[in-house]
Amino acid sequence: MRRFGQIARLKPEHVEEYQRLHADAWPKVLEMISQCNLRNYTIFLKGRELFAYFEYIGDDYEADMEKMAADPITQEWWRHTKPCFEQHTQQIYYQDMEEIFHLE
């Protein structure tokens, strides 16, 4: 199992929209997340700052992320969510953080 922490920032005018979208996340998107071996996916918000955490339980992270990116329903979801990000024009969304400490 591999743990991920990620950060991102929303555009001020899209914070409520991003919250609304995730309050009613599409079931097929959630299914794809599970099919791609992500577990315990959590997104935290403080102001415009986002922190995401998830665990990857598969054997080929890159292949699973390609599978997710190829899914038409996920692509449609991203057409709604990605413009909410501050660096959308640079195609920068969630950025991986380095894990420096963990206690079981």
- pLDDT attached to residue 63: 98
- pLDDT attached to residue 101: 97
Identity of residue 74: T
Q: Using an 8 Å Cβ cutoff, are 38 and 54 in contact? A: yes
pLDDT per position as a tens digit, 6-64:
999 999 999 999 999 999 999 999 999 999 999 999 999 999 999 999 999 999 999 99
Helix, strand, or coil (residue 38): strand
* Closest-CA residue to 40 (of 52, 51, 26, 50): 52
89 in a domain, yes or no? yes
- What is residue 41's DSSP assignment? E
pTM: 0.92
- What is residue 59's DSSP assignment? S
71 in a domain, yes or no? yes
Q: In this structure, what CATH number is given to the domain that contains residue 86?
A: 3.30.70.1090
46 in a domain, yes or no? yes
**Total domains present in the chain:** 1
Supply the range of the domain harboring residue 26.
2-96
